[in-house]
Structure 1
Amino acid sequence: MNEITVHAVFDIGKTNKKLFLFDDQGEIVWKTSTSFPTTEDEDGFISDDLSAIENWMKETMAHLMDPETGTAAWKIKSVNFSGYGASLVYLDENGDRLPLFINYLKPFPKNLEDRFFENYGPKIQFCQETASPWLGMLNSGLQIFWLKHDKPDWFAKVKYVLHFPQYLSYIFSGEPITEYTSIGCHTGMWDYQKEDYHRWIDGEGLRRLFPALRPSDTWTKSSFQGQPIQVGAGLHDTSASLIPYLTSEKEPFILLSTGTWTLAINPFSDEKLSGEDLQNDCLNNLRINGQQVRTARLFLGREHEIQVTRLSEHYHIEVGDILNLKWDPDTHLKAKETEEFAFDFEHLILNTKEISTKKENNPKEWAVAYYQLMGLLVPLQIEAIKRAAGSQYIPRLIIEGGFVHNEIFIELLHQGLPDWEVGVSTVKGGSARGVFELVKQ
């Protein structure tokens, strides 16, 4: 039996960690998925368990490549990675990982924010130069600033700083690198006007911590389990998700990538971000060729998860039953005519005012309450989509990710964007598919 050459792609998301095997034609021949409980950092703040993630990646690859336990029909030729952004990994002088993995939701101290802008402000100028709103730890470069000034003993041990996708690559290659899509992911490090590190990086003496900037299609010859393997550079997941559509679509489009975050992505804009854009969580990312991508973010997936859990508890109904609701015009009409459920949103902010619809009475039917929830969320999503479009006329929306299975979400988008062509992606593999495309390139 002839061996089939396959290419491994790890897709490490905030919630789910996946591994895909693609054949040379791009067919998914095998996949697996897992998740891990969070741990805590030394301050008691929740953090992803990077040791568990790393061990799972190594053990899974070892199992697949071991002649005794793997599948003899497959020969893994390459491995590459898609990972979430706004997260950094720190290596010491021996190349070992320091036990520091900062959650991007961790609060950024106000005294350090003031100190930062005393030296590198004003804030609006910084945000326009780095093409990102001020997001605290979500501007991952500020995690290093925090480490330097709040945890100097730890900072003194740092030899290299790697963006998370490039650390995933480092696990298998041993080669520390920096890459465009990660450095351009609202890090606060990259000056989009100069196309170089922002001046604060040199002001703090941090440039020395970043390995050489390499193209996104960089491959490193390595070995694993005694077998040769090509190791890719790793990509920021949002940028990776764009690649299949840029390859296959002939007309301009906006991609709505749905997950914990929903991201309305416009790769056809060269507009500079206005102050209003920045205030409404619109930012730029970088494509693999270094060109900007206009993106409007919304923490909609996380908010949806929280509110669905609350509905489940209030109505004593399984979460799965709520998520499996189908579109029903009668329920939609009843939801509009019934007093709204007392939602209290935790994350979504519109024009700096928290959305809250606190009422004394709740609907008797849980399905009606869920339709009301979507009636609040979808208009926010539509606003983000239009902000991603900017001044361009691109009435074409492609939806991918977890919400493609939510009929209510899709139908309300259709109704809210009546002049748009709204379609659901048929691309299998999401960000992992985009990473695989680099094999063909």
Structure 2
Amino acid sequence: MSTDLDQQTRGLDRAHVFHSWSAQAALDPLVIAGGKGCHLWDHSGRQYLDFSSQLVNTNIGHLHPRVVEAIQEQAALLPTIAPSTANVARGEAAKRIVARAPEGFNKVFFTNGGADANENAIRMARLTTGREKVLSTYRSYHGNTGAAIVSTGDWRRQPNEFARGHVHFFGPYLYRSEFWATTPEEESARALRHLRRVIESEGPATIAAILLETIPGTAGILLPPPGYLAGVRALADEFGLVLILDEVMAGFGRTGEWLALDAYGVVPDLITFAKGVNSGYVPVGGVIINDAIAAQFDERVFPGGLTYSGHPLAAASIVATLDAMEDEGIVANAARIGRDVLDPGLRALADKHDVVGEVRGTGVFWALELVADASDRTPLDGPTMGRIKAALLERGLIPFVQDNRIHVVPPCVVTDGEVAEALAIYDDVLSTL
């Protein structure tokens, strides 16, 4: 019967669900019936180890009891209310979020997810500066709404370029340097020189903001080299630009820090978030606003809003998530797993398999970049990556595969034993190449 239910579920999906980022005809989606912690299963009981965190968002793991209970309690009390009202769950959620932000951030604008968080941060920057252009990197993803998708640098921007005022530049990526750099320090200095020239050439008086993922995620988990983020902050200050750091994927435990920016000592003007703030149990995102920009709207209307801004169920899930992460040492666990288990384990894979061109990451936010030829760093081709993804699923591991990379991104609650199990599966599949 359970196998029949898997087939029924798949049939319903194929008959009626239109999937994102996909050609529809050939889809054969994985059926998921339930989950707990780092594991998921289908209706027949087949288990999977989730090393994708779905879309790198289930930081607290699946079915965390405190979060589920908080949502249930809020649903019984007040399941929804207009954003113009004051609600204790919303206020407590905002209080906990700003407590994790740098000094000088005291307000949160809630959205439905990361894309509209970036959308509204861009709006705030444009209204504050009176300028229009937004600078962002080619290797980036900022969401699928109007300005957010055009801020995105990857291929998904190209069929969707309906918003105006967006300019792209190259960020640092030493393994595939655009700047002929041979050291992280060279890469940082030359990338900053490139950004300066883009600002000067576009005209600083036309630029509202620089929008960066603190650590680009979908683009490859590209840790900024020494001095880069500080250098971007200095350029923003020099030319009077708003600096927006996108923490949608990297924030709330993913890097072993509460916010990824904590490791770099850089304070932006606006911080966008979503995903890990409540592990996606209820859709939510937002903008953490510094005091100077928030004050711009003390006497004038902010022309933006959403029906579900600060939704009570989402707010309750944020409160429970952040409290559980604090009480249970979940962020510290992510840092320890990254430092003591994933880092040495993934580097051992690279030493063993020539197909692994580079390992990079922090916390539970890692990438294996796979190459057909280590000497010239030729990316592994799409069909081979497809076979790798299928082989990982066959062995019971849900991967996050992007371009020529395996992103190793388990929930922050992952254990040493679960990492060891995943490393053995990666090793087995890479050995087949």
Q: Do the structures match in fold with TM over 0.5? A: no
Q: Which structure's residues are more often helix, by fraction?
A: 2
Normalised to the residue count of structure 2, the TM-score between the two structures is: 0.31
Query: What TM-score do the two structures reach when normalised by structure 1?
Result: 0.31
Looking at secondary structure, tell me which structure has more strand per residue. 1
